[in-house]
């Protein structure tokens, strides 16, 4: 199950990337760069969020008999 | 933010992104015919493309950056070298390049005159594709192999804000088009295809006094201007300079360059020592 926070970050990333392309088409280079940076930051944040969440879940798993 | 609001935000944003992406994709496709000069594709261009593939040109050369990166990129070659040069080159490449001297060898393909005309038409069509200034300078084999020429290949970018005619001339000289630097080096003794332009001011002054001179120039500046506007006014004899008494230099700079650009290039060339 995906956390609501992650959904928002992913949606923000996709939206920023699309708007960056749109602004580039409209030749608003600085705005396009700002959206592109926003998209990159969102993507990295999503990646880090998932990584942290995965590690935390792994730590919460009960130890199996083969690990004893 | 509640779970329901987060989901709603996700779906709306994703839908909006997809919509923007679709509109931009359609917009790109709408512009392809103009950017690629699709209207200029005629039978010769198509036949030239077949020659290009039949002879596996892309196994060595690149077009629009795609290819083997062994031989020069040919995207703007018709603007850099001109059709007369390409015609002579394709008939006998060994006249222009040798493996010993240049480290690489273009094979003699034994193309018919028709094939040569077609492949030049194809390359001319490729050259008119809007590549937004790429490649920024000619990509040469011979130039990169000759000692002293890296100074030419590492040309600093033009200073658009400059008002100095010599600086503007230097920028125009190294730009494509006109592609002067693709054929003429500014290094003494280094002849890429056309003669080196190092010390052209002194060379021109001496040349117009020569009894063999056929042009109408009265001074070095006039000689350089005449050479740009009418390369056949006085044809130099050199292994790669002319064929059948006609210069291989493109003869249409009078139409393709603005008068002020010619003035600037002349001003720049007069400074070369």
B66-90 pLDDT, tens per residue? 998 888 889 988 888 888 889 988 9
Please tell me if residue A26 touches chain B, with a CB cutoff of 8 Å: no
Determine the angle formed by the axes of helices B3-35 and A4-25, rounding to 10 degrees: 20
Residue A26 lies in a domain: yes
**Is residue B7 within 8 angstroms of chain A, CB to CB?**
yes
Strand partners, B247: B242
Report yes or no: B1 at the A interface, CB cutoff 8 Å.
yes
Structure-model confidence comparison of residues B68 and A66, the more confident one: B68
* pLDDT computed for residue B147 by the predictor: 43
Q: Cβ of A67 under 8 Å from any chain B Cβ?
A: no
Task: Please calculate the CA angle B108-B110-B113 and round it to the nearest 5 degrees.
Answer: 125
Tokens standing for B13?
């944003």
Cβ of B24 and A17 within 8 Å?
no
Tell me the mean pLDDT in the region B135-147. Answer: 55
Q: Note whether residue A24 is domain-resident.
A: yes
A25-29, B16-20, B104-108, B138-142: segment of lowest average pLDDT = B138-142
**Within 13 A of B234's CA, how many CA atoms are on the CB side?**
19
Q: With 90 as the cut, is the pLDDT of residue B37 above it?
A: no
Q: B20–A7: do the CB atoms touch at under 8 Å? A: no
Query: Does the CB of A10 have a partner CB in chain B at under 8 Å?
Result: yes
Q: At what angle do helices B165-174 and B259-270 cross, to 10 degrees?
A: 100
In a domain, residue A66? The reply is no
Task: Answer yes or no: are the C-beta atoms of B261 and B172 closer than 8 Å.
Answer: yes
CB contact under 8 A, A12 and B6: no
- pLDDT score at B144: 45
Closest-CA distance, A5 to chain B, in angstroms, reads 7
Return the pLDDT at B150. 43
pLDDT tens for each residue of B162-171: 788 888 888 8
Helix axes B83-91, B113-127, angle to 10 degrees: 140
> What is the domain range of residue A21?
8-58
Asked whether the beta carbons of residue A14 and residue B13 sit closer than 8 angstroms, the reply is: yes
pLDDT digits over B174-193, tens only? 776 777 887 888 888 887 78
Residue A15 lies in a domain: yes
Once rounded to an integer, what is the mean pLDDT over residues A39-58?
A: 92
Q: A interface mutation test: which of B12, B14, B31 has the most A CBs within 10 A?
A: B14
Q: Is A4 touching B (CB cutoff 8 A)?
A: yes
Structurally, how many domains does chain A consist of?
1
Average pLDDT over chain B reads: 84
∠ CA B90-B91-B92 to the nearest 5 degrees? 90
Residue B211 clears pLDDT 50, i.e. is over it: yes
Cis peptide bond N-terminal to B178, omega within 30: yes
CA–CA separation, B184 vs B172, rounded Å?
13
CB under 8 Å to B152, separation ≥6 — which residues?
B143, B174, B181, B185, B186, B187
In a domain, A38, yes or no: yes
- How many Å from the N-terminal Cα to the C-terminal Cα in chain B? 72
Is A3 inside any structural domain?
no
Task: State which of A64-68, B104-108, B152-156, B196-200 shows the largest mean pLDDT.
Answer: B196-200
CB contact under 8 Å between B13 and A4, yes or no, is no
Angle between helices B200-207 and B259-270 (to 10 degrees): 100
For chain B, percent of residues with pLDDT exceeding 70: 89
- When pLDDT is cut at 50, 70 and 90, the band that residue A18 belongs to is very high
pLDDT digits (tens, 9 = 90+) for B125-136: 999 898 887 777
| B9 with A25: Cβ contact below 8 A | no
Q: Is A37 inside a domain boundary?
A: yes
| DSSP at B73 | B
Q: Is A24 on the interface with B (CB under 8 A)?
A: no
Residue B53, chain A, CB below 8 Å: the answer is no
Q: Do B6 and A10 touch (CB under 8 A)?
A: no
The full set of domains in chain B, from first to last, is 37-127 (1.10.760.10), 160-270 (1.10.760.10)
Please report whether residue A1 resides in a domain.
no
Q: CA gyration radius for chain B?
A: 23
**Residues of A with Cβ-Cβ distance to B3 under 8 angstroms:** 4
A31 neighbourhood in chain B, CB within 8 Å? none
Which residue do the tokens 């139409």 mark? B255
Confidence at residue B156, expressed as pLDDT on a 0 to 100 scale: 52
Which residues are paired to A45 by β-bridges?
none
């Amino acid at each position: 199950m995906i956390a609501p926070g992650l959904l928002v970050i992913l949606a923000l990333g996709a939206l920023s990337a699309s708007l960056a392309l749109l602004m580039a088409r409209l030749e608003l280079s600085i705005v396009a760069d700002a959206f592109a940076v926003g998209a990159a930051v969102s993507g990295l944040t999503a990646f880090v969020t998932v990584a942290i969440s995965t590690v935390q879940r792994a730590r919460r798993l009960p130890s199996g008999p083969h690990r004893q | 933010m509640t779970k329901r609001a987060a989901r709603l935000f996700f779906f709306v944003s994703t839908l909006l992104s997809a919509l923007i992406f679709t509109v931009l994709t359609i917009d790109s496709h709408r512009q392809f015919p103009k950017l690629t000069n699709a209207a200029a594709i005629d039978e010769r261009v198509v036949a030239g493309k077949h020659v290009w593939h039949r002879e596996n040109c892309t196994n060595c050369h690149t077009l629009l950056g795609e290819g083997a990166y062994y031989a020069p990129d040919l995207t703007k070659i018709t603007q850099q070298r001109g059709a007369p040069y390409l015609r002579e080159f394709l008939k006998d490449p060994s006249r222009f390049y040798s493996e010993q001297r240049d480290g690489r060898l273009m094979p003699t393909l034994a193309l018919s005159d028709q094939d040569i005309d077609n492949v030049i038409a194809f390359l001319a069509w490729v050259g008119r594709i809007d590549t937004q200034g790429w490649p920024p300078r000619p990509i040469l084999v011979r130039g990169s192999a000759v000692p002293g020429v890296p100074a030419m290949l590492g040309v600093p970018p033009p200073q658009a804000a400059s008002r100095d005619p010599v600086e503007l001339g230097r920028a125009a000289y190294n730009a494509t088009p006109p592609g002067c630097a693709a054929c003429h080096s500014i290094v003494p003794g280094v002849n890429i295809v056309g003669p080196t332009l190092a010390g052209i001011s002194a060379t021109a002054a001496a040349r117009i006094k020569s009894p063999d001179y056929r042009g109408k120039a009265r001074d070095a500046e006039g000689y350089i201007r005449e050479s740009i506007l009418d390369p056949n006014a006085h044809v130099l004899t050199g292994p790669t300079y002319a064929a059948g008494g006609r210069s291989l230099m493109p003869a249409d700079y009078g139409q393709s360059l603005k008068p002020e650009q010619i003035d600037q290039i002349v001003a720049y060339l007069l400074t070369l020592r």
